[in-house]
Amino acid sequence: MNTISDLRKALGLATDNQVRNRIEAIKDLLYPYLRRGPNNQILVADAGLTLLRQLQDLHDSGLTMAEASSIMKTSSDVHDIEGSSVSSRYVSNQTKPEENDKMIAMMQEEIAFLRSRVAYLEERQQERQHKEGAKQWWERLRGEINGA
């Protein structure tokens, strides 16, 4: 088991807080490898160190910590050394087909409303332009710039 100080040295970081930030960024992936030691000390197994190294490599490549952790969380290749999934307590987000259909119907209704709203606003804009004359608003500015 690795302490925060061990992890700092292994990852080549300057402070213990940097290690804690990286642990927090992928805490859900590290959960099976985290333990508490004496005096509530954070301990990380070697497989967890491997995950932290992957995160650090992504961060060193120019990604922000949030982007790097997001990539690790969504990657389908995240497995521990033994080949089992990272978290045995992972529960996928399962939605029921009728919930999906209901959500799709709500979104289609919203899109239809937004389309009708845009059409209404475009119609009002055309009416206003017709009342003001054929000149577009930028044509008035063009005249001011040219000194006309």
More confident residue, 41 or 138: 41
Domain range enclosing 112: 97-146
Dihedral Cα 38, 42, 47, 49, nearest 10 deg: -130
User: Is 110 a domain residue?
Assistant: yes
Residues 9 and 52 in one domain: yes
Per-residue pLDDT, averaged over 54-59, amounts to 89
Q: What is the pLDDT of residues 4-23, one digit of tens each?
A: 999 999 999 999 999 999 99
54: domain CATH number?
1.10.1660
Q: Has residue 92 got a pLDDT over 60?
A: no
Is 119 within a domain? yes
Q: Which residues have a Cβ under 8 Å from the Cβ of 72 and sit 6 or more positions away? A: 26, 29, 51, 54, 55, 58, 78
Q: Are residues 9 and 70 in the same domain?
A: yes
pLDDT of residue 80: 41
Q: Is residue 81 part of a domain?
A: no
- So what's the pLDDT on residue 131? 73
Within 8 A by CB and 6+ apart from 21, the residues are 65
Question: Which of 74, 89, 124 is the endpoint of a domain?
Answer: 74
Q: Helix or strand or coil: residue 148?
A: coil
Residue 17: what pLDDT? 93
* For the chain, percent of residues with pLDDT exceeding 90: 31
Residue 92, in any domain of the structure: no
* Number of domains observed in the structure of the chain: 2
**Cβ distance 43 to 34 under 8 Å?**
yes
